[in-house]
Amino acid sequence: GKILLGDDFFHFKCLKCTGGQERFKRYHLSWVDVVHITLFNLTHNPSARPNNASSRARADDPMSQFSSSEHGPQEYGDSRVYFHYKADVAKFIDQHWSYFWTKSRGETWINSASSALSTNSTENVPEDGRFESGKAKYNKNGMWALTDDLRFPSSYDSPQQQKTRTIMYSFAEDGSLIELRTQSGNGRRKRRAEPAPKAGVRTTKKPRAGGTPTSTNSGSMVGGSSSGAYLGGAYGSASNLASSSKRVSRGSKREVKSAWSISMWPDIDNPQGPAHMSREETHAAAQFVIESDRLTVWNDKGYRMAKASHGVETGAWYFEVDILEPVRPEYNLRVGWSQISGELQAPCGFDVFSYSVRAKPSTRFHAAIGSPYGEEYAPGDTLGVLIYLPALDDDETQDLADRKWQPGERYRQFTYSRPETQRPYNADTELPPLPVLAGSELVYFKNGKCLGPAFQKLYLGKYYPAISSYMG
């Protein structure tokens, strides 16, 4: 079939590069990619619209799941073309499902498409949101448009995302997708991925290693800024860190043996001394200002992330953030926990490695999916965050040990994988190969009031207190 407009998520190598055999394969598409491609086609190709006059005249639509009193195209005065998330966007995706994926439709796939729209809207990502909400601007429920209808979906990928996209499919002669089950993103088996500088950080220094965290007393801490504050809580002793084990891990970074893989950065040992906001290139985006007290952080640009110096792998840990007056009135803030692989040039909660709650409107985020939670917090408030990570079994302990950076090695990404037989195929979205910790959870507190669990069943990993600020 024909390639849809705006879709350039393909891996191509010419005859000369491959020594005589062209390669043309399909990269993995996220829900954000699919929704963006859909709106791009609805905007620029009227014949592709599922609710155009010719398609309505052919027959009554038997698919009641797409029924709506409104549909696109609609224009409301800002020169953008709006479409309904269900009647237009979801219906287009349904009609082109086999173009995007080979997986089956789950019961809540339309919700996944809707979440991709709201999470990546200009309301949630003011600096570079992809989608414009008709509800927010014109009180038109369910209507969405492209913020910039000339930008291809791939142009929103960060350099790190571009380097780590996974090749998922090859093509049959009729153009249908054939799922690849034995290759990683670059189609070769290797112990580690090709070295790539982490987005937004310098690469001239190696991260510090060695040492163990020192114990401190938990409790309320002072200091902070509009973007964060002193990180309190008990950072524990070395006994709380994963110990060595020679048993086989459930996940491995040694060799890519299946298509179910993800690129990660190696964990590093906690430095000696008390916890503070880290200036290390592995922990903070270069745009973040971390003041001399190592407790106050702020950023007057778009969303970035900074992490604390010490991370935890098991136990109950708590820190607090005092919110001070913002640098700009249009500020926003996210506070949570992130693994070292969490993207620094994005807000906490952007990927599968981090979890956060936003200040306004109060929303919890993980893997760029947001949902309402708790209460808004503002200057003068104190936000507390509790993480509970249960005791690890031997396999989980060895898994974390295998992820660690070893002094003397070059610090670069590696490919973490699990056997293909362990991949769940009935999920609505592509799940990462990270083991889930049963019984783990994140709980937030506002001015001492418990807001209840925000997240449960976290992915196995070493977590650092993390702060993301926007214009503040």
Which range (216-230, 375-389, 394-408, 448-462) has the least confidence? Answer: 216-230
State the chain's mean pLDDT as an integer: 77
Q: What is the pLDDT of residues 167-186, one digit of tens each?
A: 888 888 888 888 875 333 33
- Taking Cα atoms as reference points, which of 144, 129, 149 lies closest to residue 85? 144
- Residue of higher predicted confidence among 252 and 116: 116
- CA 186 to CA 177: how far, in whole Å? 18
Rounded to two decimals, the pTM is 0.52
Over residues 135-154, mean pLDDT: 92
**Which pLDDT belongs to residue 337?**
96
**Which pLDDT belongs to residue 228?**
34
Q: Predicted confidence band at 425 (pLDDT cuts at 50, 70, 90)? A: low
Over residues 195-199, mean pLDDT: 33
- Residue of higher predicted confidence among 50 and 197: 50
Is 239 a residue whose pLDDT tops 60? Answer: no
- Where do the DSSP E strands lie in 299-420? 304-307, 315-323, 332-338, 354-358, 363-366, 369-372, 382-389, 414-417
- CA 287 to CA 275: how far, in whole Å? 21
Q: Predicted confidence band at 68 (pLDDT cuts at 50, 70, 90)? A: low
Over residues 191-200, mean pLDDT: 33
**Which pLDDT belongs to residue 185?**
33
Percent of the chain topping pLDDT 90: 34
Over residues 233-249, mean pLDDT: 28
Distances (CA, A) of 423 to 22, 56, 169, 224, 430: 30, 40, 16, 42, 9
The H or E element spanning position 298 is: strand 297-298
Over residues 296-301, mean pLDDT: 75
**Which pLDDT belongs to residue 114?**
86
Is 111 a residue whose pLDDT tops 90? Answer: no
Over residues 423-449, mean pLDDT: 82
- CA 53 to CA 55: how far, in whole Å? 6
Is 452 a residue whose pLDDT tops 90? Answer: yes
Highest-confidence segment of 21-35, 396-410, 441-455:
441-455
**Three-state DSSP state, 6:** coil
Which range (213-222, 365-374, 434-443) has the least confidence? Answer: 213-222
